[in-house]
Amino acid sequence: MASRVRLTAGYGAPALGLVATSTLLAWLLPQPGFMADKLLVLLAVLACLWLLWSRTQRTNRVIARFVEALRHRDLAQSFRTQGHGAALDELGAALDDALKQLRDERLAHLAENRFSAALVDEAPTPVLAIDGQNRVFLANKAARRLFQASDGRSAAEFAAYGEDFAAALTRMAPGARQTCRVLWNGLAQRAVLASSLVDRQGQPWRVVAVHIIQSELDAAELATQSDLVRVLTHEIMNSLTPVTSLAASAAKLVARVDAGDMGAAASARLAIDTLSKRAAGLTNFVESYREFSRSPAIALRRFAVRPWIEELMRSFAATSQGEGIGIDLAIEPEQLEMVADPDLLGQVMLNLLKNGGEAAREHAEHPAIHIQIRRGDADRIQLTVADNGGGVPEASREDIFLPFFTSKPHGTGVGLSFARQIVLLHHGAIGLSSSGEDGARFDIIL
């Protein structure tokens, strides 16, 4: 406020003086005589004009220099003056303060840009920037290490890293995700490409992140294989141990029969019959494994939920596991529809109902199952199957979805593994949400 007052006074005083002296001169000129006074007033008018012009010129020069400094981004200029009049001194100080603020903002902006550039450059994921002419630029160190190519090459020239990869760089739309193989050190590495759109000086650029997931997939595959081998070894040994024992017993009994002990014949036949059944059980287990290894084809369609689940409930009630089991059904909203494979998903639900029925019958006086199907967040469908059985033991909760893991005397361990496989084919998730004395609850999100 003080600087504005001084600036106004610096220009207002000579302007007022000019008005006053000009008025006085206009009054004196028609008057006879007063030549000396007229000359003196005329000089005063000229002095006011010169003073006003001089201050305006100096101000214009300062402002012009300030604009030129901004045009050339020269923020090191100084406009502070001393002894040039309060108005000009105040103007120079104000312009210096403005440049200082611009310098501070530029430094902050440069620091933020350096941080962002370092963040991208040090990111472990290779990032490619692609302009409107499909020229590819390696945006960070990870990209330069992976591709070792020069900037500005066309996307088609990246065919050396795989034809599918080059095609994806050329055709991927912003927002898309795609899996492909990238040749790296002579090996085909599985990768996920994620594309996004950014604006650079008014021009659209695509940014493609290349996630090499081969090592993660290999680690997951090894972990799965280890789990599978552990379960298979456990199950096969459980079957082979009695088979081996029965075979040895049968061989001894047959030897006694050969020696003339006909009383051992009945025992030998019984042992051989039991051996045959155990061998058949082992064969069935291997057949179950072979069936599990085949991924079923999925056929999606839209269908109404209520008639679908009610038909499954009738099928369940007709099984030995469903006999005498009370079922409570809730569907929200009542006319809910979903998109899935009704046959495969129906098999998943039937497996969950059978497991829940067996658990509830063994534990509860009044065995019951609660089914809830509702529309959840992000327009996804949530299917819940809860029973009032004894729950899943704490030690088994991490293993129940492993192939062939089972805690049942006559179980195959395929049901929940198959359920998980089908849910994953629907791009969904299945999990044991809770388990305790009040029973187990399984949730499926599609």
Identity (one letter) of the amino acid at 296?
P
| pLDDT-based confidence at residue 222 (cuts at 50, 70, 90) | low
User: 38-42, 148-152, 278-282, 360-364: which has the highest mean pLDDT?
Assistant: 360-364
Beta bridge partners of residue 386, listed in sequence order? 370, 441
Structure-model confidence comparison of residues 230 and 67, the more confident one: 67
| pLDDT of amino acid 91 | 72
Identity (one letter) of the amino acid at 202?
G
| pLDDT-based confidence at residue 330 (cuts at 50, 70, 90) | very high
Q: What is the mean pLDDT of the chain?
A: 78
Q: Looking up tokens 């494979």, which residue turns up?
A: 341
| pLDDT of amino acid 340 | 92
Question: Residue 107: is its pLDDT beyond 80?
Answer: yes
Percent of the chain past pLDDT 90, that is, above it, reads 13
Angle of helix 86-122 relative to helix 2-28, nearest 10 degrees, comes to 140
CATH superfamily of 123-212: PAS domain (3.30.450.20)
- How far CA 334 is from CA of 304, 339, 340, in Å, comes to 10, 16, 18
Structure-model confidence comparison of residues 2 and 14, the more confident one: 14
168, HSE (Cβ side, Cα atoms, 13 Å): 23
Q: In angstroms, rounded to a whole number, what is the distance separating the alpha carbons of residues 271 and 273?
A: 5
The whole-number average pLDDT for the span 52-65 is 74
CB 109 within 8 A of CB 115: no
The whole-number average pLDDT for the span 107-117 is 83
Pairing of strands 429-436, 368-375: unpaired
- The pLDDT tens digits for 334-384 are 999 999 998 888 888 888 998 888 888 888 888 999 999 999 876 889 999
| pLDDT of amino acid 268 | 64
Q: Tokens standing for 52?
A: 């006003």
The whole-number average pLDDT for the span 134-154 is 86
Q: What is the largest CA-CA distance in the chain?
A: 172
Mention every residue, 6+ apart, whose C-beta is less than 8 A from residue 330.
370, 371, 372, 373, 374
The whole-number average pLDDT for the span 123-130 is 90
| pLDDT of amino acid 335 | 92
What backbone phi and psi angles, to 5 degrees, belong to 444? -120, 130
| 370 three-state secondary structure | strand
Looking at CATH, the fold of the domain delimited by 301-445 is given as Heat Shock Protein 90 (3.30.565)
Nearest alpha-carbon partner for 212 in 186, 180, 164: 180
pTM for the predicted model, two decimal places: 0.44
CB 253 within 8 A of CB 264: yes
| pLDDT of amino acid 71 | 78
- The pLDDT tens digits for 239-284 are 566 566 666 776 676 676 666 666 666 776 666 766 666 566 566 6
| pLDDT-based confidence at residue 59 (cuts at 50, 70, 90) | confident
Q: Tokens standing for 250?
A: 């049968």
| pLDDT of amino acid 1 | 45
